[in-house]
Amino acid sequence: MAVWAAECAERVLSHFERRLPGDDRPRKAVEAARAWARGEMSTSDARAAAFAAHAAARDVADGVARAAARSAGHAAATAHVADHARHAAGYAVKAMGAGEQDWQRRRLPEHLWSMVFGK
């Protein structure tokens, strides 16, 4: 779930990076989700990256950029609670539009759909 959440977040990350190009907190959160999934990062370090990405979201006025940072934060937070993956996906949809959910569904194994999409 963390890898999938990171993929969802990474697809929208450019929206944040265009607004605050020197702020790498959301990108580090995406990297943290992947590192945790590989067993290379502790849950507490991944959570710290999640909190940092959410702080970055509060620092940007643009709603699309904010949603992208929140998506990254939830991707990293998946290390703590798997349900955060669905929030990473939801914020990516807010950033990209409803069509993004089709891509997300194709990338997620079918047996996990109900956990994320509720159906």
Report residue 78: phi and psi, to 5°: -60, -25
What whole-number distance in Å separates Cα of residue 41 and Cα of residue 54? 19
Residue type, 86: R
**What is the per-residue pLDDT across 62-102, written as a single tens digit (0 to 9) for each?**
999 999 999 999 999 999 998 899 999 999 999 998 788 88
Q: How many domains does the chain have?
A: 1
- Residue 39 pLDDT > 70: yes
The predicted model scores a pTM of 0.92
Burial of 64 (0-12, 13-18, 19+ CB in 10 A): middle
What is the structure's pLDDT at 111?
Answer: 81
Residue 22's domain spans which residues? 2-117
What is the structure's pLDDT at 119?
Answer: 61
What is the structure's pLDDT at 109?
Answer: 80
**What is the per-residue pLDDT across 9-31, written as a single tens digit (0 to 9) for each?**
999 999 999 999 999 999 999 99
110 DSSP 8-state letter: G
Mean pLDDT of 25-44: 98
- Residue 108 pLDDT > 90: no
CA 40 remoteness from chain centre: 18
Instruction: Tell me if 56 sits within 8 A of 74, measured CB to CB.
Output: no
